[in-house]
Structure 1
Amino acid sequence: MKPYTLVNRYIFKELIPPFVINLVFFMFIFLMSEILDITDMIVNYQVNLSVFFLMIVYSMPYFLVYIIPMSVMMSILLTFLRMSADNEIVALKAGGVSLYGLIPPVLLFAACGFLITVAMAGWGMPWGKSAYEKTAMEVVRSNFNIGMSEGRFNDDFAGLTFYVNNVDMKTRELNDVLIQDSRQSQTSSTIIAPKGDLLKGNDDYTFVIRLYDGVISQVEPGRGGAHATNFKTYDIRLDIAGSGTNMGSRRKDEKEMCFSELREYIKTAENRDKRYYSVLLELHRKFSIPFACIAMGLLALPLGVMSVSARKSAGLGMGLLCFLLYYLLLSAGTVLGESGRFHPAIGLWAPNGIMGVLGLYMLVKTAKDEPVGLQSGFAFAVGRIRGFLAGRTKP
């Protein structure tokens, strides 16, 4: 077996354990924010644990699109930092293996991450997003009367906040109802009624709160006017599906579309409005974010293969800084792409281009054993900061 083949297999195998550890770690962090929302739904609507775990599973493809590139970069960085610290890189160079000879296993590993992320972005995320929304609406629909908890402000519906002092779960009668309605931008209404009923609407995803013998106080913030109106009966329609009369008519979010649906919408769109640019942006995002596995992977290789004099913490800190810079550029590109000021391809692919060029520059410099200004500058800045903090902590 050729030496290069042994080296490639060894490096590829060494990349897997840190990748799994980083994947689990980042997944745990990302899921924490989602678990809070899911837990709140469980408490409010009293759903069982099976639904809880299902909603976590449905959330995972969306997070994995961002987590996999992060894990790929960090696994490559940590692997080569360890190999540098154990003088394995020096041993490989002494055996005739150049830095360029270490690229094939890194590219293969990054390409695997790219393909998995593309699958998650193109098919996993639309499936998970659609299933999550469907499950959430089903939970609210089947347990909506439970969601009308006594003595609690409920703001689950956009522009509506309601408070019910007493609820009869059997008859669905409401007592002492307070509703803040700000669905109209120019008018804010406060509705107070001593009694009300929770009624079923025209379909399974629509409810009506019918209030009796109450008063509506309306305020117009822009004009400064206010007036009150008494009523005998007043209906407030609550649409769980968000729009339309049933769940099937709800317009798909661009994140719920697969490749073919995105391309079909772009092809048939009559107007280049905000919706058009959002869909075009999502199509490019499904490829640009997965490609970060390759761009950031090439950058992580020279960051990991550092000179003996460089600190390990400097390489790790530099890697985290580069990843933060990538997502800042990606966020800026997303905003510019959605506004239509730049083509979405520019905003979403520019961060990959910048990180890829930076990685190739550092790779060539490191292969020639030439100092890389970015690494030495960052190490110097870290050393100065640590020295400053150490001086501040002295008595």
Structure 2
Amino acid sequence: MKLNSVVNRYIFKELIPPFAMNLLFFIFVFLMRQILEITNVIVNYQVSLTAFLLMLTYSMPYFLAYIIPMSVMMSVLLTFLRLSSDNEIVALKASGISIYRLLPPVIVFSLFSALLTGYMAIYGIPWGQQSYKQMALNVVQSNFNVGLKERQFNDSFDGVMFYVSKIDFKDNSLGDIYIEDQRNARFSTTIVSPKGRIFNGEDRLSFILSLYNGVINQVNLESRAVHSTRFDTYDLQLDLKNAVKNISKKKIKEKDMRIEELIAFLKTAKTKSKKYYSVWIELHKKFSIPFACIALGILAVPLGVQSSSTRKSAGLGIGLIAFLIYYLLLSAGLVLSEAGKISPVLGMWMPNIIMGGLGIYLLVRTANDNPVEIFNRMNQFAGKIIRNFFRIRHTD
């Protein structure tokens, strides 16, 4: 009993370093796709470093809900891969400790991770999404040119649409400006100007667009009369209140909703629309993804033990393949559930059932010293990829 307790503490401690390393690595990978956008926001849109860090913080819960289960699987896989490669598993079996008695630290570690993932999914994601939205409102109110983008139509204002070809955020100057003003029911006004500049208004909810050397074309919608006027300087004042109101009134996405909001929607929904199924999916996803920590953690134990002859890099590849299969199952369940082909319950829990069931099957085979042929094929495939990779590097 004492030996088993020591082994459990030893394995639990061994799980922590690879978990931390994988967590940091996957966070970096997930954020890589945002580097260009983040750099553009900081350099060109004049957003402060504090605002950038807050944006990063608000987006982290969504990433962590998927990264933590992946990191759990990789940490368990790498830990048992090392134990098996160093013949520690063989030594433990010789001491009378079976594979089943090595599961408690894995289960406890997976449970802690599942609770953390559940907290991120249930509370973290809605908090992050709503906080990000509120921050966007504050940015729009304080500096509207953050929302301007080159070569894109902007219809944030009721009755006014404008298009800017070039923007210089250093001095807030604009180039090749096109504005269509339909705020007057009797007249349709089009303004074209080769250059202009943005000035902040007296309050935070307005700004002045100064245009230079342009043309105003005004059409009387009743008489169809057209008037054209050239100007040297023309100031157009735009009110941000409607723009801010439009942002704040945008429909709340399912992932932004708290559990009580999801349940309230399902209780009041009268028809089984696409929104209805999406809410059901999101509700079950908040619980099924945390449970993936346990299912993938169990699967990683036999994967690590039976892959003892592979390199750690190949073991990493095996783990990534397994998680890719899980993600494909989750995506398939999501698509089929949204289409109403299968129940959202089955669609969101099917990946856990399949991967967890596979883990239990492989665990029983491993405990009975019955190797699975698929491991030999996966090891050969991973080894072949590694050899080719190093051969290419040597050739270069």
Give the AA of the match of 2:110. A
Partner of 1:153: 151
Partner of 2:64: 64
Percent identical: 51
Distance (Å, rounded) in 2 between the aligned partners of 1:236 and 1:342 = 53
Give the AA of the match of 1:361. Y
Partner of 1:370: 370
Q: Secondary structure at the match of 1:111?
A: helix
Distance (Å, rounded) in 1 between the aligned partners of 2:335 and 2:238 = 34
Aligned residues of 1:306 and 1:315 also touching (Cα < 8 A): no
**By how many angstroms is 1:19 displaced?**
0.5
Partner of 2:329: 329
**By how many angstroms is 1:240 displaced?**
9.2
Give the AA of the match of 1:163. S
Give the AA of the match of 1:10. Y
Give the AA of the match of 2:132. Y
Cα distance change, pair 303–160 in 1 and its aligned pair in 2 (3 A): farther
Partner of 1:355: 355
Q: Does 1:28 align with 2:28?
A: yes
Partner of 1:143: 143
**By how many angstroms is 1:105 displaced?**
0.8
Cα distance change, pair 12–304 in 1 and its aligned pair in 2 (3 A): same
Distance (Å, rounded) in 1 between the aligned partners of 2:95 and 2:75 = 24
Aligned residues of 2:11 and 2:105 also touching (Cα < 8 A): yes
Aligned residues of 2:110 and 2:293 also touching (Cα < 8 A): yes
Partner of 2:38: 38
Cα distance change, pair 52–292 in 1 and its aligned pair in 2 (3 A): same
Which ranges in structure 1 are unaligned for 5 or more consecutive residues?
A: 182-189, 217-228
Cα distance change, pair 379–245 in 1 and its aligned pair in 2 (3 A): closer
**By how many angstroms is 1:43 displaced?**
2.7
**By how many angstroms is 1:366 displaced?**
0.6
Partner of 1:219: none
**By how many angstroms is 1:11 displaced?**
0.6
Q: Does 1:280 align with 2:280?
A: yes
Give the AA of the match of 1:153. R
Distance (Å, rounded) in 1 between the aligned partners of 2:339 and 2:199 = 41
Distance (Å, rounded) in 2 between the aligned partners of 1:324 and 1:180 = 48
Aligned residues of 2:141 and 2:240 also touching (Cα < 8 A): no
Query: What's the CA shift string for 1:125-173, capped at 9, x where partnerless?
Result: 1111111121123213311146658xx435677998532578997xx99
Cα distance change, pair 42–380 in 1 and its aligned pair in 2 (3 A): closer
Partner of 1:129: 129
1:78-89 superposed matches below 5 A? 78-89=78-89
- How many residue pairs end up in the alignment? 369
Cα distance change, pair 298–168 in 1 and its aligned pair in 2 (3 A): closer
Distance (Å, rounded) in 1 between the aligned partners of 2:362 and 2:343 = 29
Query: What's the CA shift string for 1:51-77, capped at 9, x where partnerless?
Result: 111111111111100110011000000
Q: TM-score, normalised by structure 2?
A: 0.79
Q: Secondary structure at the match of 1:163?
A: strand
Q: Secondary structure at the match of 2:177?
A: strand
Indicate the structure whose relative CO is greater, using CA pairs within 8 Å and at least 6 residues apart: 2
Deviates more, 1:342-351 or 1:237-246: 237-246
**By how many angstroms is 1:119 displaced?**
0.3
Give the AA of the match of 2:362. M
Deviates more, 1:253-262 or 1:303-312: 303-312
Partner of 1:93: 93
Distance (Å, rounded) in 1 between the aligned partners of 2:98 and 2:114 = 25
Cα distance change, pair 260–167 in 1 and its aligned pair in 2 (3 A): closer
Distance (Å, rounded) in 2 between the aligned partners of 1:390 and 1:39 = 34
Distance (Å, rounded) in 1 between the aligned partners of 2:169 and 2:41 = 19
Cα distance change, pair 382–258 in 1 and its aligned pair in 2 (3 A): same
Which ranges in structure 2 are unaligned for 5 or more consecutive residues?
A: 182-189, 219-225
Q: Secondary structure at the match of 1:270?
A: coil
Distance (Å, rounded) in 1 between the aligned partners of 2:340 and 2:239 = 34
Partner of 2:185: none
Cα distance change, pair 276–316 in 1 and its aligned pair in 2 (3 A): same
Give the AA of the match of 1:107. I
Q: Secondary structure at the match of 1:289?
A: helix
Q: Secondary structure at the match of 1:305?
A: helix
Partner of 1:163: 165
Query: What's the CA shift string for 1:254-304, capped at 9, x where partnerless?
Result: 222111111111111223222222221111111111111011101100011
Partner of 1:346: 346
1:158-307 superposed matches below 5 A? 162-164=164-166, 176-178=176-178, 192-193=192-193, 213-214=215-216, 244-245=245-246, 247=248, 249-306=249-306
**By how many angstroms is 1:27 displaced?**
0.9
Aligned residues of 1:148 and 1:167 also touching (Cα < 8 A): no
Distance (Å, rounded) in 1 between the aligned partners of 2:10 and 2:215 = 78
Aligned residues of 1:12 and 1:106 also touching (Cα < 8 A): yes
Aligned residues of 1:45 and 1:143 also touching (Cα < 8 A): no
Distance (Å, rounded) in 2 between the aligned partners of 1:65 and 1:241 = 35
Deviates more, 1:106-115 or 1:153-162: 153-162
